[in-house]
Amino acid sequence: MSPADVVREWVRRFNAADVDGLAALYAEDAVNHQVVADPLHGREAIANLFRTEFTRATMVCEVEQILEDGEWAVMEWRDPLGLRGCGFFQVRDGRIVFQRGYFDQLSFFRQQGLAVPDHYLG
């Protein structure tokens, strides 16, 4: 699969809240760095992130565009509540080896009705 194809499949599994399916798209030693948190190292740590997030929030990814260059795919997305962001996916041999995501976490907390952690606002 091309990097763009992998990201399209990632979106399909994300929207189905398919944690095991999502985890299978990552290399065993993949890194996922959502810039609002420290990078996660390894498929199991990434799967745990998805388990936690799907348990506490209803998340939907609507693709605005996917761009591809070499082993990279870049996705601009939105959700039905108005949150927007983008993700960068480095793909080798059909697996995500690195992902970086940008979004406004404070808006995410508020839109999902989640408590904002005390340490978040300093």
Is there a contact between 32 and 99 (Cβ–Cβ < 8 Å)?
yes
Band of the pLDDT at 70, cuts 50, 70, 90? Answer: very high
- Rounded Cα gap, residues 40 and 101, in angstroms: 12
Q: How far apart are the first and last CA of the chain?
A: 43
Q: 9-43, pLDDT tens digit by residue?
A: 999 999 999 999 999 999 999 999 999 889 999 99
Given a cut of 90, whether residue 77 has pLDDT beyond it is yes
Q: Which structure tokens are listed for 59?
A: 């998340």
- Rounded Cα gap, residues 52 and 37, in angstroms: 14
Largest pairwise CA distance in the chain: 43
pLDDT at position 43: 98
Given a cut of 90, whether residue 121 has pLDDT beyond it is no
- Rounded Cα gap, residues 33 and 98, in angstroms: 8
For 42, the 3-state DSSP assignment is: coil
Query: What are the residue boundaries of the structural domains of the chain, listed by start?
Result: 3-113
Whole-structure pTM over 0.85, yes or no? yes
DSSP symbol at 91: E
Which CATH number among 1.10.3720.10, 3.30.2400.10, 3.10.450.50, 3.20.20.80 corresponds to the domain 3-113? 3.10.450.50
